[in-house]
Structure 1
């Protein structure tokens, strides 16, 4: 049985790609009237087939589509199949990308993907996206190019414009919003912190700023938010059956390979839970740099209610004490570094007036660094900066500050 999530459907299949047969692939989703819906996925045509060899068709419950009104809602019309759009490949990739509008009074639609006068095989990746787009100004990643791919080696780098990359080879979608620049030989990778429940996934904090940052930038959505929408901070844990960090590492490796970038030209940037992600990832990319502000260094020492929600949905409702015994290397940066016997290059910025993080996250991290690090070279790898801001943990860096922080971290650690 297919699994319908907030913005994607995971088709029931043990294979990454499904043969598109004449009977078609059918699903029904609930929608919001007046919204646009953007359908995308990966399609692989035989070399002998044309783009118009497959269709996506629609019927709107309670509303009749016909040749007179289809164009208004972003569709074509045929007497044989009704309202449809061709599954054309976009952006010189194997991605199809179709946007439709939902009329007033429509709360559910029926969708079919089907071949059309084809003689060769057509395959669809088993994960299909249906992004809800609210009326009004669109978020950057709701209108930019997309690349959907199920084979990591098929990744293609697109420069000098925002691109939403969606890897669909696993049980979770892995999503990256990137703005790669041809005139930059450095890459800044940003993590995702806590989100609000009402936000439409994926979540890309600072997505409006990455074009203005001189370096190439990529924001990594936290797939943990797809486990359950009650989770408002995920720390890139995935769930007990599928940890997501190994796949994220593999994907970032592929981005760096395609861009011919060494780890020395990579900086992980983030605050709070995004800072946790940066501290985690910098340990897996030797010679890279992390710039973090008020991060969590042990997620089990964060807000107890939020931690319990994560453990309930992602770890089969284990207690904080059980998590501390079984999974501490995934949840504590200190224990990760201790296990790896490695201290990476970190610029750690802490607000004195963020008393909770100062006491529960910064002080244990500094204590570990001072007392437990035996490698003398590690003592050159930490820059610690204290500052004061009345907003405490909620203080947010402005764009010019971010640009300066990235610049000075690269300059210091590459000197």
Structure 2
């Protein structure tokens, strides 16, 4: 789905979070550059379409490729990416790949590692286990980012593995969301990659007039939990509706309070989560959290058809966020994440269409949600205590 170029949107809600709009355009070696206020996006919800677009971008690269992924599997999808990256590296391009050592632990292989390195790809594993620094293993690089020639960028929830491919995995493929971006946002994506590659917090140069679309890490030189603050501001400024999709919903009290207060002042708040999580303790904690929100007017829906892995937010059909961050302690406070936060009605409209389509395959959580077994009731307090590390 292609989201056409969009000019400035006049909406005062939430202007403190991202600010005013630019309406400039210029040219450079990447072609026409759409500065903030004239962004264009391409939305992907099918892995086969996304992977085809990413591979095509890699193959036409002429200067450099930067890729981050939490999971990079040695399977049909992963090998197609490895071949494309290796070919560009052998052609003399600067090809750098930053993979999470824990996320890819049971997915990648030594053969894949050696193949990439022998082909000239500069491969780095984020935070491998080492006895001298055991605590750093708990902090992961959860980002999924591809930047080609600093002109094209792809960001979202899709990892590189067959579980997202209908062709290879079938009808039960994971349900996810990703974006393609160009111009200034691609350069922001490259800066974000460089910062983590060099092991430092991103020090983005402040704009003279805040843009309508920015890429935000959850950690920066100015704020240790930046995304949490932006989400709270978006929820606090909501006037009509909030639509949130996330596979793991174990947020902090501040975020819960912002959502509950929005519902109490008449905002339609709808939360889409998996009917059954792939991480068992999440289900135990979720029952406690969902009940608190439902009492305040938040509607919670469980997606039943496939494994839900998308991470999107839409507020008032105007403000949106798409990226790698889940609504849990690990994403908001611990791991490295990256999200697009933007004011764009057409992108918001596309996300709303997808949200409504997902609701067709979901059921509102309530009386029909399976009752808890005795063992679950006993384990719930333990899961709640451990929620910050899940």
Select the structure of larger CA radius of gyration. 1
Q: Name the TM-score class by shorter chain.
A: under 0.3
Higher percent of residues as strand: 1
In the superposition, the TM-score normalised over structure 1's length comes to: 0.26
Higher percent of residues as helix: 2
